[in-house]
Amino acid sequence: MSMDFLALLNLPESFPFVVAIFLLLGIGAFELVGLLLGVSLSGVLDEALPEFDVEVDGAQGLQKAFSWLGFGRVPALVILVIALAVFAIVGVSLQISIMNLFGSPLPAMLAGLGAAAATVPVGGLLVKAVARIVPKETSSAINIDSLSGQTATIVIGTAKKGLPSQAKVRDLYGQTHYILVEPEKDESFSQGDQVVLAQLNGHIFSCRRVDASTDPIFPLP
């Protein structure tokens, strides 16, 4: 008996993978709305998550899994999207194969565990490939306040007062960080604009326009 993709999604044994697919669709919708409003889910997620050391020797358990998945190499949202996509694709493919071979799918929990086990190595390889394309993030333990006074570049949306947008900035060690910024005054900054970081309020930096006569400008790669 042949089992197709849509038919499998209606089975309770596919529940974990349906959830993953809907999460992917939700992330896409939020990013689209955020692009229109000048707010990035990626920046919010990166600010909310703790820093991960990707060079930990003898890491165990979840720490080792996080390291292999690539936390600290690329924005956390990229890792989440890759992990969800791999989990859903592997899980659905597994259930279709089992259904076609034996006539019934695996229990949802068993299939979910199998797909999750495959997600870490496969997702890690994909993240490493993506990391060669997108700007590298690093995770040295620095005080985020130390970025005040640095020049940042708006990377997505338009930053307005009360509507922060995502920017990237290099610290004194040359490491790239993704942050949220909003103007100090009633003005706006568009993608590609360079701004000077002022004060950190919660997880959002206030910023002002670069004054070429007084502010050093360090272009980001």
Q: What does the pLDDT average to over 61-88? A: 69
Instruction: Return the structure tokens found at 83.
Output: 């992990």
Does the pLDDT of residue 40 top 90, yes or no?
no
Query: Would you place residue 182 in the very low, low, confident or very high pLDDT band (cuts 50, 70, 90)?
Result: very high
Query: Is 160 exposed, middle or buried (CB count within 10 Å of its CB: 0-12, 13-18, 19+)?
Result: middle
More confident call, 185 vs 41: 185
Q: In CATH, what is the architecture of 144-209?
A: Beta Barrel (2.40)
Does the pLDDT of residue 58 top 90, yes or no?
no
pLDDT of residue 137: 46
d(CA 91, CA 93) in angstroms, rounded, equals 5
Does the pLDDT of residue 80 top 90, yes or no?
no
Query: Would you place residue 171 in the very low, low, confident or very high pLDDT band (cuts 50, 70, 90)?
Result: confident
Phi, psi of 176 (to 5 degrees): -90, 135
pLDDT of residue 50: 47
pLDDT of residue 63: 46
Does the pLDDT of residue 210 top 50, yes or no?
yes
Q: What is the CA radius of gyration of the chain?
A: 21
Q: Where are the domains of the chain?
A: 5-131, 144-209
More confident call, 60 vs 130: 130
Query: Would you place residue 84 in the very low, low, confident or very high pLDDT band (cuts 50, 70, 90)?
Result: very high
Does the pLDDT of residue 56 top 50, yes or no?
no
Does the pLDDT of residue 43 top 70, yes or no?
no
Q: pTM value?
A: 0.54
Does the pLDDT of residue 219 top 50, yes or no?
no
More confident call, 15 vs 211: 15
pLDDT of residue 2: 46
Query: Would you place residue 55 in the very low, low, confident or very high pLDDT band (cuts 50, 70, 90)?
Result: very low
